[in-house]
Structures are given as structure tokens and as C-alpha cells.
Structure 1
Amino acid sequence: MIPQDTIVALATPSGSGAIAIIRISGKDAITIAASVFTSIKGKDITTQKTHTLHLGHITDDNKIYDQVLLSLFKGTNSYTGENTVEISCHGSVYIQQQIIQLLLRKGCRMANAGEFTLRAFLNGKLDLSQAEAVADLIASDNEASHQIAMQQMRGGFSNEIAKLREELLNFASLIELELDFAEEDVEFADRTQFTDLLNRINFVLKRLIDSFAVGNVIKNGIPVAIVGEPNVGKSTLLNALLNEERAIVSDIAGTTRDTIEDELVINGIGFRFIDTAGIRETEDVVESIGIRKTFEKMEQAQVVVYLFNVAQFGIQGSELKTEIEKIKNQFPLKPLVIIGNKADKLTENQKKEALELIPGLLLVSAKENIGVEELKDKLLSFVNTGALRNNETIVTNTRHYDSLLKALEEIQKVQFGLQSGISADLMAIDIRQALYYFGEITGQVTNDELLGNIFANFCIGK
């Protein structure tokens, strides 16, 4: 049920600033705003056109709270699809609180988390996947995640799903019609066209499901664990990547006792680098805990960077190969980048020898910032961003991914039934389930618990 009361909240971040925006939405939004707003030109804002700005003062019993700019959005011509007023006031926390408290006394209610966007969904201004993209857009912290959120907010994903659902619904109607004429043994749904549609839906669903692997890492960042023996330059490499002194560097082995994490955006893709404790045999209790955490971070990471001192390669060659093979066997599905650090101390012949003995080896000098850009390029190569460049739909939401998997399972059941010649009534059950899961994505099928879980993650003023 669409709420009928009027809500208010601060739409800008809390705290002091140059300007703050207080948003009011609901049936009585304009009436309530008019009761506290005095236009400097004597205008009655209840009679003004939508999408207009008005300068005036917020007052109550001849007390002036602030000079403000009031934005007016009437009826369905607003973000929420209902009367909306936005008050731009000075950013003093005191002024913000005084105005909001005044509006509460005049009949507003404090908005719940995400309630403005929830009302936009309930009033048909956004479908559910677009509403979720609003939260993703606010949370985006790199170019790639921003691009995906914008594409979904414009309806790219939901339009693709809605089109497939509509075509499937048309065939479902014909299948259901056949059930009404079961005694006449007639077919209203062309089985050849239906097979083609199911094949196309199957293809699109698989493409969307496969895109989640890329979309999830773009949205949440790609964790990269930097591992190796003590004192090979892991912390120095982290500092070189971040271009700041983030980790403590010293010649004492075991300086890094705990994991250190920081993020870096490379060509619009977020990477989360994890500097770990050096791997070695030790009786130091604290260092042992750090080494145990190193293996935990390697388990969680999607890319492992193994660092060794290439200047000592001749001494430790056989041990190094054994260690590399151990990591490959322990994490066979994770990309492994092998880096020979301190390459500035090698002759050209020594570099050539190291590259021949270890396939794919990257030679760097973290201290001298040599080879760091090549490492960034290598990390980017693990991310398939072709879909971004081609503006294809990429799934980033776990809820969408789950619904797509379930929809694909039902479509494959329908395909099997069609090939096996099962009765229309049994096929109709699987078609209805597929339509249900399609509807879950866009919000055509929903419930209060689902909406509560989704919008609880929004900020209050959105």
C-alpha cells in the first residue's frame, strides 16, 4: 500500500557545510511547507507551478530561522511521484535541526532509511532494480562501478528482463488457453516459435549470470594479496603502488606483523591491496599469528602477488620454485603474479636468465619505482572490461544473480518438457515459476520483507 503521510529528512550529509537540503515528500508536503515559508515577493507557493524556485524565509510565530531557497515539485512530476519540496538552507547543524523539528511539529514524520526511493518505486517512477541502482550509484567510488550503476539506473538491465518476461508471458497465455480447450486437443502456441524464444531466453540468462563474476568484483573491488618471505619488499611495493608511505618499511625481517589494506583505482577499476606478514618459520607468537592471517588473506583474495628478492635468486632458486608450485597447488583457480623485486641490482644477463627460468616473471624495483606500471597493467588484464566498453548489461547485485539462476533453472525445465512432449499443464507450472523470478528482479513480484531488506541499506534522506 502506498503511504499517505508526509515525510521529511536531511538529503545532504549530516554535519556543517555551506548548504544543506531538507526534503519533504507526501500528500501534504506543499501545504506544510507553505505554513512555514514566507516568500520575499509575497508568493503563495501552493499556487505556483511545478519545478520552480522561490526565495524566502522559514518562519514560525514571527521567528525567522533562516533565509532559504525552496524547490517545488508537484504531483507525479517529482522523484518520489508525489508532492515534494526541497529546502536549501545554510549548512549550520543548528539550523538544520531547527527546521526539521519545526516541520515535524507541523505534521511531517521522519523518513525511514531509503523511504524516498521506496515511494518512487511504489509510485511507479522506478522499478526495483533501478531503485537498487540508486544505492549503488551513491556508493560507487570508481569509474567502472559508477558506469554500471548509471546503466542500471537508466533501466538497461530491467528493460532487458522486462522484454523477455513480456514475450514469455505472451506464450504462457497461449499455453494456459490450451488448457481451457484440452478436450479439443488444439495448440494455440506455435511450438517452433516457442522453442526459439526459450533458446534466446536461455542465452540471455546465461550471459547475465556470467557477467556477475565481473560485476561483483567491479562493484566491491578486487582483493589482491601481496605475499612472500620477510624483507623482500612487500611493504615497499604497496607504498609504490599507492604512491604514499602507507606501510612501515625497515631492514628488520618480520616488521609487518599484521595485514595492511588500502585501495587503489586503476583505469576506473578498484583494487584492494593487502600487504601481509612475511612467510617463514618463527617462534615469535605475534608474528605466527600474522603469518596465519597471511594464508587467510590469500584464501580471500582473487589475485595473489608473490614477491621474492630476485637479487638472491641464484642462491634460493630451487626453494623458490618449490614455494611457487606450493601456492599454485593450494590456490589453482587464483591468478598468480610472480614478481622479482630489487631488479635494479641485476645485470642484463642476470635479468635474462631469471626471465628464462620463471615463465611470466615480472621484474620490478619497488624502491626505485621500476616496473610498477607494468604490474598495474598485469592486474588490469585479469578484469574483463570489454562489456563495459560495449555498454553491455552487467549484473552486480546478489539478489538479481540468485533470481536469474532460479529463472534459468525453470526455463531449462520448460525446454526439457517441450522436447519430451509433456502435457501443457505441467509446462505451465514451470513457465509461471520462471515469470515469478523475472518479476522478483524488477519488483512486479515483491513483499514487505523483501522491500524492507533492500531499502534498509539506503541512507535516510534518499
Structure 2
Amino acid sequence: MSANLKDTIVALATAPGVGAIAVVRISGDQALTIAAQLFRSIKGKDLRKQASHTILLGHIIEDEQVIDEVLLSLFKGPHSYTGENVVEISCHGSSYIQQRILSLAVKHGCRMAEPGEFTLRAFLNGKLDLSQAEAVADLIASDSAAAHQLAMNQMRGGFSSEIAKLREELLNFASLIELELDFAEEDVAFADRKAFEALVQRILFVLKRLIDSFAVGNVLKTGVPVAIIGEPNVGKSTLLNALLNEERALVSDIAGTTRDTVEDEISIGGIRFRFIDTAGIRVTTDVVEQMGIQKTFEKAGAAKVVLYLLSLEETANLAAVFTEIAQQKNRFPDKFVVVVLNKIDRLSEHFLAAFRDRFTTTFEGVSGLQFVGISARERSGVEALKTLLQSQVALGAIRSDETVVSNVRHFDALQQALDAMLRVDSGIKSNISSDLLAIDIKDALYYFGLITGQVTNDELLGNIFANFCIGK
């Protein structure tokens, strides 16, 4: 970042706009001195002489004019969020009052903070490692119970501790190998090769587990995309409205009403699902509708779950229906596909039982394919569908506080570290020289360090903290 990190900075720590309360945050060496020029305690106390973690009642004053009555919270470094002296002013939430206090702070020597600069200072002052700092942004952005739990687990440092421990053990062996290189002429072995090989296998196991966890962590963080596909007029838009419990999509008896995708989100059991209502799949000469159908397949291809919606008469050719179901599953072999039979309120119990039995028999042993019957219009069976969707997201790991990777940067670094460790493993088995082995070990150490912040550069920090909100 280009800013001078020795400056004393100020920003609004609460969301901009009018509210009951707003918080103005000041951090830096001169935080107490500057705040003392703005604030007057109702009991005449000098805030510079107060103990850390105290709260004072008083007024913000400019030229003897009272701007607002406030509470001032004092945190002396290093016992603060940033590790510096920090003052937080809780004022009334008037936009005018907020701007007056910010302007006064700048007038007396503060600089407006850049996005994420408070958390950047916390990282640089050793209050957080880099992965914990990134979890702060994830926590602020979390909009489901699962995303919140992921961010909290990362903020507590479980992921950092696991990576740091592996890096330390690997670093110890790297030091011994470097020592061997210093005594190469004497043919001395300081590193126990068997112990080192065992460590490499353990590191490989952990790295593969963490990388595999990203498949779950990423969708829990960003939401599980669910595509609703089917022929026109089977009730896709009605189902979307039933899932959302609102009239989000236009519903009509006219075939081909949905020309473009309609998307919205809900939380089911603490997991965010992004539902995508797509254009009906059929043969058509309408150019615009053809474009919508093409987009349907693109959206379904990018989804994690596909709801294939059917609407049948009791006279339907079930052989043809089940052939089409098999084709749709073959179209999306790696996805969880739910065959949703809609409008069951128009079907007899006998037909439904026969359909269910034939589905079970036909697709016995086919993984990633389920069936559920609903009436989207009557909203019956919709809760069972939600439960089925929720069951497909593995929450066991985060509920048991296991490390789950959800950050793309961490995922990329872990993959690079895995590649380096696989080269180390191959080198050990090939009995290559210590100097060549040391090169791959250094690569792995570098990528471990990128995750926790033991290896950084200005560009990396700038990219990470630029995505933070101002005031955090």
C-alpha cells in the first residue's frame, strides 16, 4: 500500500448513513493527542492520563461549540485491535455529526484511512496473521450461518496454526539439509532421511485434505448454485417462487415465458442457496428463446445442483420419461441431480407409487440422482425438497471445527505447496542430492509462508486489503 503507515488515521467504523449511533475510529501514535483536542470530558478528565480500556462521557468541541455528546472508548497500544493507540468515538448517527467529527480529526492531524488499513496495521503489528486478517473481511461479508462459522473458525487461527506447524517442522529439516551442504566435503548426514520421509508423507496428507475441503468451503462461502431446468410450463418459475416464498418470477400458462435466467437466494439450514430459474428446454425457431435455452445449459453446467422438473399426465409414456431422465443425468454426470415431479396434486396415489418404484428400480446404484414429488402451486413437498438440498452439503467438518479452506488465494497457495512437496517426495525416493532437494523444500516453505503472511510483498497486501471496507 502506498499510504504512510506511521500516520494517525481516522474513519467511520460503522456503515455510512443515518442511524441511532455511529462510531468514528482513530488509530496511531498521535490518536490520544488528537482526540484530546476534540473531546472534553464532563468530569474534566484528561483522556491521555486514563488507563487503557476505559470509557469516558463527554462532548466533541469545536471553537467552544458543542458538536455532540459522545462516549469515547480508549485502547492503548499494544492492547488494541491495531496494536497502536486507538480511540473510538460513539456519537449520534446524524450524517452531519459524523462528517463534522471526521473533519475535525483531519484538521488536527489525522489522515483518512484507506480500505482495510486498520486490519493491515493489526497484521503488521502481529495482532493477526494474514489468513486471520482475511477472515475479518469474510466475517463482515458472511450472510449465512455456514459462512459465518467458516470465517469464525479461520479467525480463531486453526488453519494458520496447522500451516505454521507444518512449515516449522519442514523448516527444521531444511536447516539440517542446508547444514549438510556446508559440510558436503566431509560427507556428513545431519537429517534423518526416514524421519524426513515420514514428515513429507504427513504434509502431503494434510495438504490434500485441505485442498479437497475447498470444494465444500467455497460453496458455503459463496452460496450453492442450484439450476432449475425442464420443459416449458412444467412449473419452474412457480417452484422458484415457492422456494423463495415470494412472487419473484413471472408465472404464465404461455409456454416460453422465461427467456432469460432469474436468480435469487435463500438460506436453508444456515446454508445459502442461489436458485436459478432457466428458460424452458424445447425445440423452437424463436431466436431469443434459443438464446435463453443455450444460457440454461450454461447455467446448469456451472451449478452444483440441478433440479430437473417434470410435469406428467397419468397417460404419459414412462419409458420415454425415464430415458429422458437418464439423458439429463448423463448430461451432468458430476452434479447432484434431483428429479422433481411437479403438480402431484393432479396425480393419483397409485400413479405416484408406481413412478417412485420404477425410479428406484431403474436408477438403483446411480449416485448423485434423487427423486422428490411436489406441488409448487400448492407448496406441498417443498420443505422436503429443501431438506434434500441441505443434506447434500457436508457440514460435518465445520461443525466439528475441522479446518475448511474457503479462500481462493489459500487454495492456490496450497496447490503450489503440494506440487513442491510432491517433487520433494519424488526426490527422496530417487535419492537426489541434498542441494536439489533443498530447492523444492524452499518452494514449499515459500507457499506456506504466503498463506500466513510470513512471506509478503506490497502488491500482495495491497490486493488483499483493498477489498476491505473503509473503517475496518
Q: TM-score range by the shorter chain?
A: over 0.9
Matches within 5 A, 1:46-61: 46-61=48-63
Q: How does 1:431-446 map to 2 (within 5 A)?
A: 431-446=441-456
Within 2, Cα distance between the matches of 1:138 and 1:41?
A: 36
Give the match for residue 274 of structure 2. Answer: 272
User: In 2, Cα distance between the equivalents of 1:247 and 1:339?
Assistant: 18
* CA–CA distance in structure 2, aligned partners of residues 292 and 242 of structure 1: 25
Q: Tell me what 1:162 maps to.
A: 164
**CA distance in structure 2 between the aligned counterparts of 1:13 and 1:253, rounded to whole angstroms:** 45
- Alignment deviations for residues 305-343 of structure 1 (CA, whole Å, 9 cap, x no partner): 010103x25335344334333322322211111111111
Counterpart Cα distance in 2 of 1:51 and 1:65: 24
Name 1:258's counterpart in structure 2: 260
Cα shift readout 1:142-180 (whole Å, capped 9, x = no counterpart): 111101100100101000000111111111111111111
Matches for 1:20-419 after TM superposition, within 5 Å:
20-310=22-312, 312=313, 314-359=315-360, 360-419=370-429
The Cα offsets for residues 95-130 of structure 1, whole Å up to 9 and x where unpaired, read as 101110111111110100100000000101000000
1:67-107 deviation per Cα after TM superposition (whole angstroms, max 9, x unaligned): 11101011111000001100000000011011101111111
1:291: Cα distance to partner? Answer: 2.1
Question: What SS does the aligned partner of 1:361 have?
Answer: strand
Q: Which amino acid aligns with 2:330?
A: N
Task: State percent identity of aligned pairs.
Answer: 67
Deviation of the 1:292 alpha carbon: 2.4
TM-score by length of structure 1 reads: 0.97
Moved more, 234-243 or 153-162: 234-243
Q: Is the CA contact (8 Å cut-off) linking 2:314 and 2:347 kept in structure 1?
A: no
Which amino acid letter does the alignment assign opposite residue 363 of structure 1? G
SS in 2 for 1:314: coil
The separation in 1 between residues aligned to 2:282 and 2:321, in whole angstroms, is 13
Kindly report which structure 2 residues correspond to 1:447-458, keeping only aligned pairs within 5 A, or say none: 447-458=457-468
3-state SS of 2:410 partner: helix
Q: CA deviation at 1:294?
A: 1.4
CA distance in 2, matches of 1:315, 1:338: 16
Pairwise CA distance, 1:278: 1.3
Q: Judge conservation of contact 2:36–2:46 (CA < 8 Å) in 1.
A: yes
Residue deviations 1:195-248 (CA, integer Å, cap 9, x gap): 111111111111000000000000000100001111111111111111222222
Moved more, 371-380 or 386-395: 371-380
What runs of 5+ residues in structure 1 fail to find an aligned partner? none
Distance, in Å, in 1 between the alignment partners of 2:285 and 2:422 is: 57
- Measured in 2, the distance between the counterparts of 1:282 and 1:229 equals 12
Distance apart, 1:134 and its partner CA: 0.2
**How far apart, CA to CA, are the structure 1 residues paired with 2:192 and 2:371?**
58
Partner of 1:423: 433
Calculate the TM-score normalised by the size of structure 2: 0.95
Q: Once superposed, what is the RMSD of the aligned Cα atoms? A: 1.4
How many corresponding residue pairs?
461
How far, CA to CA, are the matches of 1:37 and 1:406 in structure 2? 52
SS at match of 2:307: strand
Q: Distance in 2 between matches of 1:164 and 1:228?
A: 49
Q: Which amino acid is the alignment partner of residue 222 of structure 1?
A: V
